[in-house]
Amino acid sequence: MDFGFSLSPSSAIELDKVDKSLFGKLSRIEPGANTCIACGSCSATCTASGYSGMSVRKLLLGLQRGRNQEIERMLSNCMLCGKCTMVCPRGINTRRVILTVCRLYDNVEGEL
């Protein structure tokens, strides 16, 4: 019987089974990544956010949740303008965090 809708696959994340190694490396290099409170100020001021979905908040949460492929796509949308750094209430140098994540991804690709 067709009721006109379908069930979506579950989007639950098994945090115990997630590869958090990139976030661990980022935390050691940039301790500010651990102080993010996910307030969204960076997203609100980001020029690229409205068009591409770029957000430092999403980037950090994605790394913590092991969504590495999403993060890799998101990094290419950042214009590195630094507006997010100016409005961060925790004083995180978000631009440096983004550059560090880019370097980490370059190192991971080099190891493959």
Q: Looking at the domain assignment, is residue 14 inside a domain? A: no
- Per the model's pLDDT, the better-predicted residue between 99 and 50 turns out to be 99
Task: Give the count of domains, the chain.
Answer: 1
CATH number, domain containing residue 102: 1.10.1060.10
13 contacts 65 by C-beta, under 8 angstroms: yes
What pLDDT digit, counting tens, does each position of 23-47 carry?
999 999 999 899 999 998 998 998 8
Flag whether 11 is in a domain.
Answer: no
Biggest distance spanned by C-alpha atoms of the chain: 56
- Whether residue 7 lies inside any domain: the answer is no
Q: Would you list the DSSP string of 89-102? A: TT---HHHHHHHHH
Domain of 33? 19-111
CB atoms within 10 A of CB 36: 19
Q: What does each C-alpha distance from 64 to 1, 27, 75, 101 come to in angstroms?
A: 41, 10, 15, 12
